[in-house]
């Protein structure tokens, strides 16, 4: 799954308002109306549900909410105040707020908490509902032998509760403006690289307090998911640092990161890490060594396999058990769209490699089968591929900011025939859970 946090207006789950909070857009009000005696049956938004809770919830329900707020206070208090202030300030980013609020002067924050008390309480309730429903979903999944596999962005958004609350941990100046930002150099996706705009970490500060911020973040992710993919794992060994004034990522430089110390600390805290390393792009021997030392599988993308020669690591014969194979990710076109966009010579290469002159079945099912028969320990098939959708269903095009994150799954698309076909393929290649 993509990250679950509340997004900015562009909808990107990789630029969230918080690395702990859940998006209120996932709350199911119909389900709430059926299950919660205090919720009006016609409640279609948070305000209606909150009013019902305030009027009709019993002491047990209110104590449950209070317990949630207390347990999650380490992030929830800052998040709720941040969102309430952001709304009060016309949705402006925190670094454009009045100085007293931007710099979190105690008197200004105390006054804001008083003025915005009602809204803050409602925001607490919103997160309570999200986590309550998510935990029910996860329990239901577990009861049916299903694990949840989620994605954790390596960086957080500049305009986020975390950077506002603890600016000393990030590469921002006294006015909250970025000094350096994250991204990657020119690669497969972009000739000028990708300038993501996230502030970088001041790693020396994180090391000094025993990576407390990372431990708290990881603890939240483990509550949400059974397996976690660390997006841009490469950045834990060395990251591409771009001066904030640069408009592209071309003028950045690689800077070493304390990934070994961080992962060792996380393992000491949480035990064996149920983590998949997103090791795409420019990967060095040092990055691979870091991943392997901590027993983390890497990624193999089949859509990347047919560019180059027989030593291409994404070709199926080069896969290894310590990897996860994907037909494509949210940053790729759908497999059908990819196939229809290939040039003639690449199509011929795909034909020759996979099956000779004629394809035994049409895309995307041919590539789905190749993923399932890989020796990789886990195979991931995007929903768009299972539904045989084309480019119109692409989730994201890296390096662009318009027209992304809009595709939505309609449950009527997954017919019994599609489900049966997938189950048979999973069983055929020995991937059916015991």
DSSP for 62-76, written as a single string: HHHHHHHHHHTHHHH
H-assigned helices in 272-415: 285-293, 335-340, 344-354, 365-372, 383-386
User: Would you state the pLDDT for residue 319?
Assistant: 98
**DSSP letters spanning 29-48:** HHHHHHH-TTS-TT--SHHH
User: Would you state the pLDDT for residue 357?
Assistant: 65
**DSSP letters spanning 227-260:** EEEETTGGGGTEEEEEETT-SSSTT-EEEE--HH
Query: Residues 112, 113, 114, 115: is their CA dihedral positive or negative?
Result: positive
SS3 152: strand
Cβ neighbors of 147 (< 8 A, separation 6 or more) are 141, 226, 227
User: Would you state the pLDDT for residue 433?
Assistant: 81
Alpha-carbon Rg for the chain, nearest whole angstrom, is: 23
Domain layout of the chain by residue ranges: 1-146, 147-296, 318-434
Choosing from 72, 162, 331, 333, the catalytic residue is 331
Question: 299 near 354, Cβ under 8 Å?
Answer: no
Choosing from 162, 231, 333, 385, the catalytic residue is 231
User: Would you state the pLDDT for residue 41?
Assistant: 81
pLDDT tens digits, the chain, 434 residues: what are they? 999 999 999 999 999 999 999 999 999 988 888 888 898 887 888 999 999 999 999 999 999 999 999 999 999 999 999 999 999 999 999 999 999 999 999 999 999 999 999 999 999 999 999 999 999 999 999 999 999 999 999 999 999 999 999 999 999 999 999 999 999 998 776 788 889 999 999 999 999 999 999 999 999 999 999 999 999 999 999 999 999 999 999 999 999 999 999 999 999 999 999 999 999 988 999 999 999 999 999 999 999 999 989 999 999 999 999 999 999 999 999 999 999 999 999 999 999 998 866 777 899 999 999 999 999 999 999 999 999 999 999 999 987 888 999 999 998 999 999 999 999 999 999 998 87
Choosing from 126, 278, 333, 385, the catalytic residue is 278
Distance CA 158, CA 16 (A): 9
Distance CA 151, CA 386 (A): 20
- Cis before residue 61, ω within 30 degrees of 0? no
- Name the token pair of 230: 């660390």
User: Would you state the pLDDT for residue 140?
Assistant: 97
Q: At what angle do helices 106-115 and 117-143 cross, to 10 degrees?
A: 80
Q: Is 231 a catalytic site residue?
A: yes
For the sheet containing 227-230, what is the strand order? Answer: 149-152, 227-230, 275-277
Distance CA 393, CA 409 (A): 9
């Amino acid at each position: 799954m993509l990250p679950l946090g509340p997004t900015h207006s562009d909808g990107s789950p990789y630029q969230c308002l918080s690395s702990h909070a859940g998006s209120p857009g996932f709350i199911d009000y119909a389900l709430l109306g059926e299950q919660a005696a205090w919720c009006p049956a016609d409640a279609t938004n948070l305000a209606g549900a909150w009013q019902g809770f305030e009027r009709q919830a019993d002491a047990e329900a209110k104590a449950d909410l209070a317990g949630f707020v207390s347990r999650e206070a380490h992030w929830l208090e800052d998040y709720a105040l941040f969102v309430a202030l952001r709304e009060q300030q016309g949705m402006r980013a925190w670094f454009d707020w009045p100085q007293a609020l931007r710099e979190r002067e105690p008197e200004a924050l105390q006054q804001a908490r008083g003025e915005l008390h009602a809204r803050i309480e409602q925001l607490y309730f919103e997160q309570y509902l999200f986590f309550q429903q998510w935990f029910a979903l996860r329990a239901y999944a577990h009861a049916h032998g299903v694990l949840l596999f989620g994605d954790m962005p390596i960086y957080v958004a500049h305009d986020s509760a975390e950077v506002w609350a603890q600016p000393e941990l990030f590469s921002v100046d006294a006015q909250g403006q970025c000094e350096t930002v994250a991204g990657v150099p020119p690669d497969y996706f972009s000739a000028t690289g990708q300038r993501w705009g996230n502030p970088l970490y001041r790693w020396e500060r994180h090391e000094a307090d025993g990576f407390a911020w990372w431990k708290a973040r990881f603890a939240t992710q483990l509550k949400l998911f059974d397996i976690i993919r660390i997006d841009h794992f490469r950045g834990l060994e060395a990251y591409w640092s771009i001066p904030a004034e640069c408009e592209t990522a071309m003028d950045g430089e690689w800077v070493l990161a304390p990934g070994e110390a961080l992962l060792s600390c996380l393992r000491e805290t949480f035990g064996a890490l149920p983590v998949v390393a997103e090791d795409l792009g420019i990967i060095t021997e040092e990055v691979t060594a870091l991943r392997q030392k901590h027993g983390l599988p890497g990624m193999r993308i089949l859509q990347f396999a047919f560019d180059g020669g027989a030593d291409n690591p994404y070709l199926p014969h080069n896969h290894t058990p310590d990897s996860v194979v994907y037909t494509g990710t949210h940053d790729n076109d759908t497999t059908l769209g990819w196939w229809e966009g290939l040039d003639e010579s690449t199509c011929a290469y795909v034909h020759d490699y996979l099956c000779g002159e004629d394809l035994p079945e049409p895309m995307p099912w041919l590539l789905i089968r190749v993923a399932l028969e890989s020796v990789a320990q886990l195979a991931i098939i995007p929903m768009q591929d299972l539904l045989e959708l084309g480019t119109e269903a692409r989730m994201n095009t890296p390096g662009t900011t318009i027209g992304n994150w809009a595709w939505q799954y309609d449950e009527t698309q997954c017919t019994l025939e599609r489900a049966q076909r997938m189950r048979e393929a999973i069983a055929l290649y020995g991937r059916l859970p015991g």
